[in-house]
Chains A and B, each alone.
Chain A
């Protein structure tokens, strides 16, 4: 059975040769593609070009997701933002889901640029940034790449790259208040992927919110080790519930399994990324949600006005919380008491006007070490919070 395959190889060789010939004949197809959409025109014409443009020159925006669009989690939150964008005039969107953080995402970006004519890309997974977005951004300087994660470094990264992220731990703090006022056992549970700074910050804020209204409330954490581990997440949920936890929340790509497990076992839950209310009509309290709709509309507005065109100065690193419209809460579920709603709304108002600070002294970590002295305050924008490597007092768990 060895020899015959050779003839099928020659078939492939033909395809290969054909392709080689076709580029030789047509000239470099890549350079054709990149000159065709005439970026120079939009540069010189500036702002009015896009606004007054007919439908045929609509801005094509590409959205790339690392998982399924309907995951009740990280990707759904972005896809909801994309959907809102697609309703804007003069905008056409292209979406691709389940794109791994490999050469595949580079190919998807190039394909959106070359085959779909995309001028603005939102590759949404954190892991797309380095090296994939950076590589493509250098290759296609006329396309704008906006990445979720806040990794942009001035002077080091290409000028056509921007990065945005939200202080979603504010919403976790508010969720913690609701959870702290709903729990009977005073035991809260948190199922998380990896002990990285972003995740630790959410856990800590959740516990600090709960403790602010219920000083005896503790949060038990289980790390599953990866972003999408449905079986482990379900096991962790059941084990926490067996230990007496009566409010569960999660920071994984899709909290679906955790929320469903909580509902099945008859306890409460708070959501993350997107709304999981439909999965747990009885026990869903509220949730920390991204508000990408508002962020994406803001960006596309800027692009259509020509504010982010090549050569112009624009803000490459954008962050925000409630105040800037980056995050929102799921509507309160039925079990949430009036008192809890009132205190949660008050906290939210505190974030809106800047009077509420989550990280302030005196604060100890859960091994008894002092983190902040009595007069220390660390507002949300404090860069020190971005490298958090501790769990605060009241959290049961270990940062490895």
Chain B
């Protein structure tokens, strides 16, 4: 096997092996619980991908995960671990509801665009705050983004139960409803709302940005070696804040989609855990924006099939969480295998190549 092909296959084969190992371990759990693992896997397939109805279910569940995963994946290119997607989603959702209600009467296209912009901007600012604190005050961005989530949820509750409350929403405090004209409908012929398109487009755009532009290259230099990046004259503060803003913006956009395609108003139902699930997706995708798409579909599918597992086998809801947990651990553990499997890195060639490159560089 040539070194090039090996290096290309490695990032596919290792996660696949992790997936297979996950299914084997999970199958063991299921068997211990007295169910036939193959039957369970068949039902999972049926619930997630087996028919158009099931696949639509998967797509709907995957679309917010694509956006919230980007909130972790983009800053991760600079070596930051941001876990505050939930807060950005909530703030973005709240902002878009405010804009949508304030602009009531405007043309639908303009209002929806303004809502999307507001969601993106406010979600972006939310995570940019974590970046700013990191750069200028040395505050750990993981902790600050998590704490910002609590603040975001508290702000949502405050506004929804106070100044922005629709007096008619007695027992479930909510903002006023958006007019029907401003609701994001399904994509033509798909029965899946536009959030999916937003998710896919955002993943592709951010992949191009991070993998094919100078900005993305600079970002990964910062992530690879901060001192080298500074020595090379990169504006680390600017890069960090922009990456955080874009990531948070994606999560804020997910909040806008929740408001305008699903809930129709902002209320506590926005806090549904998409932000946290997005962290899992980002890590499983190894922080690669384009890989976020299939991974989000996989997790969306697992979630979609969870219902069927409960109903057909009477398995507890936690079954799906167990599967996700095993998958997460397997993927993280498999990280340690990169570069250690001789099959992918024929030693002789690697050893030859290194000094040669070094010589060229000198």
| B345 in contact (CB, < 8 A) | no
| B26 in contact (CB, < 8 A) | no
From B60, which residue of chain A is reached at the shortest CB distance?
A103
From B269, which residue of chain A is reached at the shortest CB distance?
A101
B57 CB contacts on chain A under 8 angstroms: 107, 110-111
A99 CB contacts on chain B under 8 angstroms: 307
| A104 in contact (CB, < 8 A) | yes
With A102-B262, A112-B311: A4-B8 Cβ-Cβ less than 8 Å: yes
| A324 in contact (CB, < 8 A) | no
User: Are the C-beta atoms of B310 and A97 separated by less than 8 Å?
Assistant: yes
| B176 in contact (CB, < 8 A) | no
User: Are the C-beta atoms of B51 and A22 separated by less than 8 Å?
Assistant: yes
User: Are the C-beta atoms of B317 and A68 separated by less than 8 Å?
Assistant: yes
| A114 in contact (CB, < 8 A) | yes
Interface string of B265-286 (1 = CB under 8 A from A): 0011100110000000000011
Interface string of A156-183 (1 = CB under 8 A from B): 0000000000000000000000000000
For chain A, residues 219 to 236, give those with C-beta under 8 angstroms from any C-beta of chain B. 225-226
A7 CB contacts on chain B under 8 angstroms: 12
Q: Which of A9-17, A242-250, A288-296, A347-355 contacts B (4 or more CB under 8 A)?
A: A9-17
Our pick among A6, A97, A225 for the contact of B157 (Cβ within 8 Å) is A225
A127 CB contacts on chain B under 8 angstroms: 172, 267-269
Q: How far is the CA of A334 from the CA of B268 in the complex (A)?
A: 40
From B9, which residue of chain A is reached at the shortest CB distance?
A4
| B263 in contact (CB, < 8 A) | yes
| A313 in contact (CB, < 8 A) | no
Q: Which of A36-44, A190-198, A297-305, A337-345 contacts B (4 or more CB under 8 A)?
A: A190-198
User: Are the C-beta atoms of A5 and B272 separated by less than 8 Å?
Assistant: no
| A52 in contact (CB, < 8 A) | no
Q: B153: shortest Cβ distance to chain A, in Å?
A: 9
User: Are the C-beta atoms of A15 and B288 separated by less than 8 Å?
Assistant: no
From B263, which residue of chain A is reached at the shortest CB distance?
A131
Interface string of A1-35 (1 = CB under 8 A from B): 11111111101100110011011000011100100
Q: B311: shortest Cβ distance to chain A, in Å?
A: 5
User: Are the C-beta atoms of A4 and B171 separated by less than 8 Å?
Assistant: no
B52 CB contacts on chain A under 8 angstroms: 19-20, 22-23, 28-30
From A9, which residue of chain B is reached at the shortest CB distance?
B294
User: Are the C-beta atoms of A107 and B171 separated by less than 8 Å?
Assistant: no
With A4-B12, A99-B307: A15-B49 Cβ-Cβ less than 8 Å: yes
Count A-B pairs with CB separation below 8 Å.
134
With A5-B11, A12-B293, A111-B308: A194-B51 Cβ-Cβ less than 8 Å: no
Interface string of B41-65 (1 = CB under 8 A from A): 0000011010111110100110000
User: Are the C-beta atoms of B272 and A100 separated by less than 8 Å?
Assistant: yes
With A4-B8, A11-B294: A108-B307 Cβ-Cβ less than 8 Å: yes
Q: How far is the CA of A23 from the CA of B55 in the complex (A)?
A: 11
Q: B322: shortest Cβ distance to chain A, in Å?
A: 13
Q: How far is the CA of A94 from the CA of B311 in the complex (A)?
A: 5
Which range holds the interface residue count of chain B?
Answer: 35 or more
Q: B327: shortest Cβ distance to chain A, in Å?
A: 15
For chain A, residues 372 to 398, give those with C-beta under 8 angstroms from any C-beta of chain B. 386-387
Q: How far is the CA of A152 from the CA of B80 in the complex (A)?
A: 48
With A101-B272, A131-B263: A126-B53 Cβ-Cβ less than 8 Å: no
A115 CB contacts on chain B under 8 angstroms: 46-47, 53-54, 308
B323 CB contacts on chain A under 8 angstroms: none
Q: B263: shortest Cβ distance to chain A, in Å?
A: 7
Q: How far is the CA of A386 from the CA of B169 in the complex (A)?
A: 12
Where chain A touches its partner, the secondary structure class is helix
Q: How far is the CA of A16 from the CA of B196 in the complex (A)?
A: 13
With A95-B311, A97-B310: A196-B171 Cβ-Cβ less than 8 Å: yes
A2 CB contacts on chain B under 8 angstroms: 207, 211, 288, 290
From A195, which residue of chain B is reached at the shortest CB distance?
B161
B263 CB contacts on chain A under 8 angstroms: 102, 131
Q: How far is the CA of A400 from the CA of B163 in the complex (A)?
A: 11
Q: How far is the CA of A29 from the CA of B46 in the complex (A)?
A: 14
| A149 in contact (CB, < 8 A) | yes
Q: B57: shortest Cβ distance to chain A, in Å?
A: 5
Q: How far is the CA of A238 from the CA of B49 in the complex (A)?
A: 49
| A263 in contact (CB, < 8 A) | no
| B84 in contact (CB, < 8 A) | no
B311 CB contacts on chain A under 8 angstroms: 94-96, 112, 116
Q: B77: shortest Cβ distance to chain A, in Å?
A: 11
Q: How far is the CA of A21 from the CA of B49 in the complex (A)?
A: 13
Our pick among A94, A97, A98, A196 for the contact of B173 (Cβ within 8 Å) is A196
User: Are the C-beta atoms of B286 and A1 separated by less than 8 Å?
Assistant: yes
Q: A353: shortest Cβ distance to chain B, in Å?
A: 29
User: Are the C-beta atoms of B47 and A111 separated by less than 8 Å?
Assistant: yes
| B264 in contact (CB, < 8 A) | yes
| B interface residues with partner A (beta carbon < 8 Å) | 8-12, 46-47, 49, 51-55, 57, 60-61, 154, 157, 161-162, 170-173, 191, 207, 211, 258, 262-264, 267-269, 272-273, 285-286, 288, 290-291, 293-294, 297, 303-304, 307-308, 310-311, 316-317
Top 4 A-B residue pairs of the complex, sorted by shortest distance between their CB atoms:
A98-B317, A23-B52, A101-B269, A5-B291
19 further A-B contacts with Cβ under 8 Å, apart from A97-B310, A127-B268, are A5-B290, A12-B293, A19-B55, A22-B51, A29-B51, A29-B53, A94-B311, A95-B310, A97-B316, A101-B272, A102-B269, A104-B272, A108-B307, A110-B57, A127-B172, A127-B269, A195-B161, A196-B171, A226-B157
Q: List 11 A-B contacts (CB under 8 A).
A: A1-B286, A16-B55, A19-B49, A19-B51, A33-B53, A96-B310, A96-B317, A104-B272, A111-B308, A112-B311, A225-B157
